[in-house]
Structure formats: structure tokens, C-alpha cells
Amino acid sequence: MSTMAASAYGHMILQFPVPFGSPDNSPLQPSGADFPCKQGPNVYKINKMNELNVGSSYELNVAGGADHGGGSCQLLVTLDKEPTKASTWKKIHVIEGACPAAGKTFPFTVPPEVPNGVATFGVAWYSRQAGQPELYMNCAPITVSGSSSDASQFTQLPDAEFANIQPFSQTCKVPQNMAATFANPGKYSTRIGSGPFADVCGKGVAGEGEGAAPSAPAPLLSAPAAPPTASLAIPSAPAAPSSPTAPGGAGGVFGGDGTCSQEGAVVCNGESQFGICNHGKIVFQPVAAGTKCQNGQIAKREFRHRAQRTKIN
């Protein structure tokens, strides 16, 4: 099976635009070692050049089964053909909330600020729910036409906003169970659903006032706009689902569904599965390795060996 065919049980992975090489569907390392584009062997091997026209509409397709309750996506472009850590990424479209989502695509239009020529498209998304705040990123080669060769307008697009990984900040993280919002989403942006939302640095919840601003892109991470206070509270344990149809124990079947009453609540199916209440329905999926679902929260597991070890905080 091709590595580009996302497993129904795997993390989400870019399908269109057609990505470079054999894309990796795991999150970026917190150290930033594989930033950008999940750096690795043959990461910039071109499988297919994506021809994109300015003003035309396309469907972003990030497929897979483990969307971690959705999150927020940045659709990005850099003029570098083989991006490095020093590359400048600009937002061409932002989707705040419910992105990515299993079985769903998202429309976007190539804006006129992107100049003609070969460039690199990137999609970076923050998962709403996982064992820890995570940032995913896949990239694709593009050739843009229908614009001009003048890149001066491209510099006016807002810079990408990266968090959860170094060097941007080791303390700047999107709070768990929140969909990220951005200090400067730009004029090409969409917000989906009712959240709850928190900015990419968790201002007022996690990382507030900690760490120096990164060298690039500094302006967007150094002073993000504070979201409403109510949106920053980590939700308390939700009410139990009204009539869950999936088994309640840790041996529950992945992909089972149920019903619920509290919109946006985290619902546990034993300790090994969780789901988000979405319009009265739940689709359960496994928690990340090393975590458990308990009392409506995702938490780290305690690891015990033959000799008692220190609890992981």
C-alpha cells in the first residue's frame, strides 16, 4: 500500500495538493528537528507538480481517521523550492476550528498576492486533542500562474504562526482541548464551529509571558491579540453521554459511536478511547500513546515498572 494512501486509522496526511515524497503523518518533533515539512530522506522528491491558478478555487484534502477532534489549519506558501528552517512562510488561507476533519475537504482560492512561478505549498495544523499539544505539517510543490512576477505584494500576506515546537518557543503551546486562533489570520480566513478557542500561545492559559520571541516569524508570536477570557478556560468534566452505543470499557471498539448532550464535551470510552460531542453524536477514537481518557480529560498515564519509578507529571 502506498504511504500516500492515508490509513483509516492513522493520523491525517496531505492528499491535495499532491505532497512531496512519501509524506509522514506524525506530528513535528517538539525539538523542531524535522521542521519544516517533516524533514527526512527525499523529503522534496516531486511526485507530481501541482498547477495552481490565481483566483481559482481548489479543495484542500487532508485525509485519515485520527483528526483528534479537529483543530485549526494554516494554508501556507513559501517562494523557496526546498524550504529550510530559515524560509519565510505566508498565510494564503486560514481555517480556525474543525480542521482537519476525517472525510471532509476545505475550499481555498489562490490569492493574487502569490507571484507566478515554482513555490512550495504547506499545510500546518494544530490538533485540538491529543496527549500533548501537537503541530503537524506536510508540503507540496506548486507552480502558480495567472498572477505576475512581482513578489512585492506577497510580502504583505501575514506570516505563518508556529508554536508547540522549538525554536519558536518551547513554552508557547496551544492548550489541550482548544482550537487555535491566530493573532493575524489575514483577510483570507474562515472560522468553523463554536470552539472553544484559544490563541496559538495559550495567552492567559499556558505560556503567557514566558520565553523570548523567536527570530522568525517574530511579530506574530511575540504579541498575539488576547481572545475573550471565556474562551480560554479549560472545560470541566462533561456530563456523561445520554445513550452511548459503544462499549463503555477500555476494550471498546475503535470507531464505535454514541450520543451525547453537551456540545463540545470530551467523552471517555474507557481509558483508551475518547470522542468529542458534535451535534449530539460521538465517534470514538484511540487516545495517543502514553495517555488515557479519564473524567472527560486526556491525561498522561502513570508508568510503573518492576521497581517503582517516579510518576510522569
pLDDT in tens, 136-170: 999 999 999 999 999 999 999 999 999 888 887 65
**pLDDT at residue 49, rounded to an integer:** 98
Instruction: Report d(CA 27, CA 116) in Å as an integer.
Output: 31
Give, in degrees to the nearest 5, the angle at Cα 69 between 50 and 186: 55
Strand partners, 118: 143
Q: 144 Cβ partners below 8 Å, 6+ apart?
A: 52, 53, 54, 110, 114, 115, 116, 117, 118, 119
Strand partners, 142: 50, 119
Report domain extents, the chain. Answer: 13-232, 235-313
The answer to whether 199 and 221 are in contact (CB under 8 A) is no
**pLDDT at residue 167, rounded to an integer:** 82
The tally of CA atoms less than 13 A away on the side-chain side of residue 239 is 9
pLDDT means per 10 residues in the chain (313 residues)? Answer: 39 91 88 89 91 97 78 96 96 94 93 98 87 84 96 95 81 80 93 86 40 31 38 42 36 51 77 73 70 75 44 39
**pLDDT at residue 287, rounded to an integer:** 66
Q: Which of 76, 46, 71, 47 is nearest to 60 (CA)?
A: 76
**pLDDT at residue 107, rounded to an integer:** 96
**pLDDT at residue 148, rounded to an integer:** 93
**pLDDT at residue 222, rounded to an integer:** 32
**pLDDT at residue 113, rounded to an integer:** 97
Cell of 23: 509524506
Instruction: Kindly state the DSSP code that residue 313 receives in the 8-state scheme.
Output: -
The answer to whether 227 and 199 are in contact (CB under 8 A) is yes
**pLDDT at residue 273, rounded to an integer:** 77
Q: Which of 173, 197, 69 is nearest to 127 (CA)?
A: 69
The arrangement of secondary structure in 13-232, i.e. its CATH architecture, is: Distorted Sandwich (2.70)
Phi, psi of 26 (to 5 degrees): -90, 160
